[in-house]
Amino acid sequence: MQQEINLLSKLPRGKRNVNARAEAKTDEIIAISRQYGELYFEAFGLDISEYALMHCEPEVVGRLHLGNAVKLPFPDNSFKAVISLNTVHNLDRGECITALREIERLAPGRAFVQVDSYRNAEQKALFEEWVLTAKFHDYPDGWVAAFREAGYTGDYYWTIIE
């Protein structure tokens, strides 16, 4: 017998900011959205933590990949931009280089990476007291050398504890 049933009731519900959408919406944005192309399926993420993926915000469910930054499961030059925040330093130096190469491969010159750093001995000592997960960290010069070695040409910035 035919029935009205909400089969999607168990799916996570995103919190929608309707006002923000209403203000941003234009005819051009609607037309682009209706092409269901690259811009419609805009953002993707990757994290090594299954826990993080299982507890992500509802609106990004299905857009996150489980994986390691040393091997990004996307084709060359496939993103308009790649952003990596406070993650690459969790790899050892050799793996950092590999991860930076991967980021560059996906978005040559169109990436931003932020990593742990310090500008003087006092900041370095403070960082070393605090750090739990980072395997590679350095002064900005050391990071810039690693960027060069990797052929990474994107932008960058530092997370510094003061």
Ligand X SMILES: C[S@@+](CC[C@H](N)C(=O)[O-])C[C@H]1O[C@@H](n2cnc3c(N)ncnc32)[C@H](O)[C@@H]1O
Enclosing H/E stretch for 156: strand 155-159
Q: Are 48 and 69 in contact (CB under 8 A)?
A: yes
81 binds ligand X (CB under 6 A): no
Closer of 25 and 65 to ligand X (Cβ): 65
Which of 155, 29, 7 is closest to 84 using CA atoms?
155
Q: Report the distance separating Cα 26 and Cα 140, nearest Å.
A: 42
Q: Residues 33, 77, 86, 120: which binds ligand X (CB under 6 A)?
A: 86
Report which DSSP code applies to 15: P
Closer of 32 and 48 to ligand X (Cβ): 48
Residues 95-134 that bind ligand X (CB under 6 A): none
Residue count at the site for ligand X (CB under 6 A)? 11
Closer of 82 and 138 to ligand X (Cβ): 82
Helix axes 140-150, 93-106, angle to 10 degrees: 60
End-to-end CA distance of the chain, in Å? 67
Q: Residues 79, 87, 136, 146: which binds ligand X (CB under 6 A)?
A: 87
149 binds ligand X (CB under 6 A): no
Closer of 87 and 117 to ligand X (Cβ): 87
Say whether 144 sits in a helix, a strand or coil. helix
144 binds ligand X (CB under 6 A): no
52 binds ligand X (CB under 6 A): yes
Q: How far is the CB of 151 from ligand X (least distance, A)?
A: 19
91 binds ligand X (CB under 6 A): yes
Return the beta strands (E) in 58-154 as ranges.
64-66, 82-85, 111-116
Q: How far is the CB of 49 from ligand X (least distance, A)?
A: 3
User: To which residue do tokens 């040409």 refer?
Assistant: 153
Residues forming contacts to ligand X in the complex (CB under 6 A) are: 47-49, 52, 68-69, 85-87, 90-91
